[in-house]
Structure 1
Amino acid sequence: MKRKGALIVSIVAIVLSVIFAESWVLSLESKLRGRILRIQVVIIIQCGVAVISIFLWKNLSPVFQTKGHDASPHRLFWKFILILYTMFAHGSYLSNVFLVRTEPSVLAIVSYLCLGAHVQMFTFLVIAKAVGFIIKLCKKRPLKNNSTAIMAMFYGFLMTSYGYYRICQPPMVKNVTIPIKKLPPSLNGFTITLLSDIHIGPTVGKKQLEVAVDITNSLQSDVVVIDGDLVDGVVSKLKDAVQPLRDIKSKHGIFYVTGNHEYYTMDVENWMETLKELGVHVLHNANARVPADKADDNSLCFVGTDDIEADRIRYDGHGMKLDTAIKGCSTEQITILLAHQPNAAKIALQSNNKIDLILCGHTHGGQMFPIIIGAYFINPFYAGLYRHGDSFIYVTMGTYYWGFPMRIGTQHEITKITLVSV
């Protein structure tokens, strides 16, 4: 009982320490705050990966155990490979700091694939242990530990290879038709190409962006939207990588709003200026009339808000300010809100503002099993098209991916949205 009490006190103390430390960090100057927040993220991720590594080592290393003179070279070799693989998995997130460049680094890709395999083997073993426990309750004979470990490694390799193969394919084009009440006849059939979560950084580069731009241009949409999480690095390292954006062709322009990852770079202002130079219209809590030369009753109002992460980390001059962003939109106009996170869509729907369509990204659909389970439950809108009263919400699974160059159970997409009158 005393040990349990001490454990509870320790957990409460840790939680309170984290809360107070977070408050202190958020009160610091922005650049220092950014550095400390990145360090915190690295520590949290490393702790999580460490738990997985300890669990995997305990369950997988017996396969490579050697005793006395029976130690065989091939077992020692595979044990060395297991150690090396674990080191790569732990080093994956560091590539976001040291391996950000115009094209993806092979080392970054290998590291993140190892981390992906980590997650897949961990998932398999947890499920296997749960099944084994049930079998034991039924008084059946469970599989030997070595057999389970070998199956886990085979499963991890198979699923990692499959996930990597999936992301090596170009994004699929997803066509979505959305019926809009009181849509002006002149705008019936208006098209929007939605890009989101490109995540140019350690595992996504310029060539992949060029592919996305080529697909976008082939769709010949009236408007192109980039709905946040374009980059995972600073302008000085990725300016060349985003140059293909200047080649996007759109009848009424290209609109961009920030995602949470832009704020993690702590270089948002420079990114906004860089995108403007590339011909992208940045909606920084602002709106734009489309077509620009039409009256209210024959135009759309595209509204863009900063990502809600800017509010959480108190990024100077930024934050989701919907009332500011929508100011100037007429009640006669169809209003389309660009907000990176589904949680921002929920906030917008709870406001008194008239919004006909909200376009979001962020979730990636979870990107791969089993993360898709968490993504489904923590987001008010997970993926696809939703209706809320007279408003519609569309959440894309993302144009590419973050970190893990893997897709399992999800699909990276470029979405062509067609508005139709009802």
Structure 2
Amino acid sequence: MVRITILLVIVFLIDWYSYQAFKTTFPEQSWIKIGFWIFSISLYLFVAYGFLTFSRSNLSPNFGRLISLLVLSLIPKIIVLGFMFGEDILRFLTGIFYSVAGHQEGDFLADRRKFVSQTALIISAIPFLGILHGVLIGKYRYRVVNHTLEFDDLPEEFDGFTITQISDIHSGSFDNKKKLEYGIDLINQQESDVILFTGDLVNNQSEEMEPWIDTFKKLKAPMGKYSILGNHDYGDYVSWPSKEAKEANMQRLYEIQKELGFTLLRNENINLEKGGASVDLIGVENWGKGFGQYGDLKKATANLSDKSFKILMSHDPSHFDEQVKNFSQFIHLTLSGHTHGMQFGIEIPGFIKWSPASLRYPKWAGLYEELGRYLHVNRGFGFLAFPGRVGIWPEITVIKLKRK
């Protein structure tokens, strides 16, 4: 009860300061002030109802729209709060100064209040428009990211070998078939030798993928399509009526992987052959620091030669730091996903790369190298909970392997 009370007080303060900015900027337009409260109260009632009926087993597009409305409303208001609260502190200190000095405050304080209010509203419109873009456009703004990696011991026959990596499909969140098909076509246009999917096919339940099977079956790669499981694929975030129901869900997920044409690797490996040479493709089940740890790297590599060239698919990038980079067998390249880059951040190549994901994952997006071993963290193809992407766009990764 105490937490709820504190939350309500915080929400009220956010809205009250936002209202002050509107009231000061539009003193004569009463309909704007009334409309502000009608919108805010209606939104909070809608959000309260949504969370009261919330179930982790149903992260549907409708729930995503609820989250987007809340984010669209709160983020700009919090920015306004910062301006208005700061101005109140300055106003308080100025009042003390004038009182001690024996001077009148004058009209400039009211003028300053109006200027601060107008500035706050203008600046808060920037993240509002950014979030709106992320919800309407950004979540399907697929981009192709290319990397070329060189290795001394890559078999000559694999010089120029190309991999398309996708990750975190989260099929239960999709709401636009036409835009999704554009993303599938873009993957196929890369004409890579293999397509590797690094986990999280669904949000929680296998049935979420049913409407999209025919769409994803269109993915093509001459040397095959391979996949692993992510933390969301196990159904661990759902209260199942029985163990049998959960197991049936997993069995259906395995069947869907086959229907999509993917070879699912569960703590095992497969030999990719080209021109008489080969590389080892390893796939482990999810292993994450703070998440399910079903992966068994020793089991997945038990029959492999120490000298073979190895590519590992492991959903959670924390696995790289915890086990992979110091593993007894040298693993040349690890492909992960999981973080989504938090679907929010700022990336300007050569200048800045930041996301809240960096607070949890030191390696949260892009290419990393440590101890001569590479890790690539895909930013994700889909989206989860918040139905948008702001600054962190859905990613299709193309990696070309070259022999030095």
Tell me by how many angstroms 1:213 deviates: 1.9
Tell me by how many angstroms 1:233 deviates: 3.6
* Alpha-carbon distance in structure 1 between the residues aligned to 2:137 and 2:10: 25
Partner of 1:418: 400
Tell me by how many angstroms 1:322 deviates: 0.8
1:321 and 2:296 are equivalent in the alignment: yes
Partner of 1:186: 157
Tell me by how many angstroms 1:161 deviates: 1.9
* Alpha-carbon distance in structure 2 between the residues aligned to 1:123 and 1:47: 19
Q: Sequence identity of aligned pairs in percent?
A: 26
- Assess, with a 3 A threshold, how the Cα gap between structure 1 residues 413 and 143 changes in structure 2: closer, same or farther: farther
* Alpha-carbon distance in structure 2 between the residues aligned to 1:49 and 1:257: 40
Pick one of 201, 209, 217 that aligns with 1:230. 201
Partner of 1:281: 263
* Alpha-carbon distance in structure 2 between the residues aligned to 1:261 and 1:48: 32
Partner of 1:25: none
Pick one of 346, 357, 360 that aligns with 1:378. 360
Partner of 1:387: 369
1:115 and 2:70 are equivalent in the alignment: yes
**Unaligned regions of 5+ residues in structure 1, if any?**
1-10, 12-43
Q: Secondary structure at the match of 2:150?
A: strand
Q: Secondary structure at the match of 2:356?
A: helix
Partner of 1:26: none
* Alpha-carbon distance in structure 1 between the residues aligned to 2:176 and 2:377: 23
* Alpha-carbon distance in structure 2 between the residues aligned to 1:63 and 1:178: 53
The answer to whether the 8 A contact 1:89-1:111 is kept is: yes
* Alpha-carbon distance in structure 2 between the residues aligned to 1:131 and 1:359: 45
- Assess, with a 3 A threshold, how the Cα gap between structure 1 residues 149 and 240 changes in structure 2: closer, same or farther: same
* Alpha-carbon distance in structure 1 between the residues aligned to 2:173 and 2:7: 19
Counterpart amino acid of 2:38? Answer: F
1:244 and 2:253 are equivalent in the alignment: no
1:80 and 2:80 are equivalent in the alignment: no
Alignment of 1:21-420 (within 5 A): 53-62=11-20, 72=30, 75-89=33-47, 91=50, 94=54, 97-98=57-58, 100=60, 105=61, 107-118=62-73, 120-121=75-76, 124-125=79-80, 128=83, 143=113, 147=118, 150-151=121-122, 154-167=125-138, 169-204=140-175, 206-263=177-234, 264=237, 267-291=249-273, 298-308=277-287, 319-347=294-322, 348-369=324-345, 373-420=355-402
- Assess, with a 3 A threshold, how the Cα gap between structure 1 residues 287 and 230 changes in structure 2: closer, same or farther: same
**Unaligned regions of 5+ residues in structure 2, if any?**
96-108, 239-245, 347-352
- Assess, with a 3 A threshold, how the Cα gap between structure 1 residues 235 and 364 changes in structure 2: closer, same or farther: closer
Report which structure shows greater RCO (CA 8 Å, sep ≥6).
2
Tell me by how many angstroms 1:191 deviates: 0.4
The answer to whether the 8 A contact 1:197-1:230 is kept is: yes
The answer to whether the 8 A contact 2:187-2:219 is kept is: yes
Count of aligned pairs between the two proteins: 364
- Assess, with a 3 A threshold, how the Cα gap between structure 1 residues 71 and 410 changes in structure 2: closer, same or farther: closer
Partner of 2:243: none
The answer to whether the 8 A contact 2:59-2:385 is kept is: no
Tell me by how many angstroms 1:351 deviates: 2.5
- Assess, with a 3 A threshold, how the Cα gap between structure 1 residues 125 and 346 changes in structure 2: closer, same or farther: farther
- Assess, with a 3 A threshold, how the Cα gap between structure 1 residues 365 and 235 changes in structure 2: closer, same or farther: closer
Counterpart amino acid of 1:230? Answer: L
Q: Secondary structure at the match of 1:262?
A: helix
- Assess, with a 3 A threshold, how the Cα gap between structure 1 residues 52 and 222 changes in structure 2: closer, same or farther: farther
* Alpha-carbon distance in structure 1 between the residues aligned to 2:134 and 2:264: 33
Tell me by how many angstroms 1:109 deviates: 4.8
Moved more, 86-95 or 345-354: 86-95
* Alpha-carbon distance in structure 1 between the residues aligned to 2:256 and 2:229: 13
The answer to whether the 8 A contact 1:346-1:380 is kept is: no
Listed one character per residue, the Cα deviations across residues 155-180 of structure 1 (whole Å, up to 9, x for unaligned) are 45322223234425541111111112
Q: Secondary structure at the match of 2:269?
A: strand
* Alpha-carbon distance in structure 1 between the residues aligned to 2:12 and 2:365: 34
The answer to whether the 8 A contact 2:139-2:389 is kept is: no
- Assess, with a 3 A threshold, how the Cα gap between structure 1 residues 51 and 255 changes in structure 2: closer, same or farther: farther
- Assess, with a 3 A threshold, how the Cα gap between structure 1 residues 305 and 53 changes in structure 2: closer, same or farther: farther
Counterpart amino acid of 1:420? Answer: K
Q: Secondary structure at the match of 1:299?
A: strand
The higher radius of gyration belongs to: 2
* Alpha-carbon distance in structure 2 between the residues aligned to 1:126 and 1:373: 23
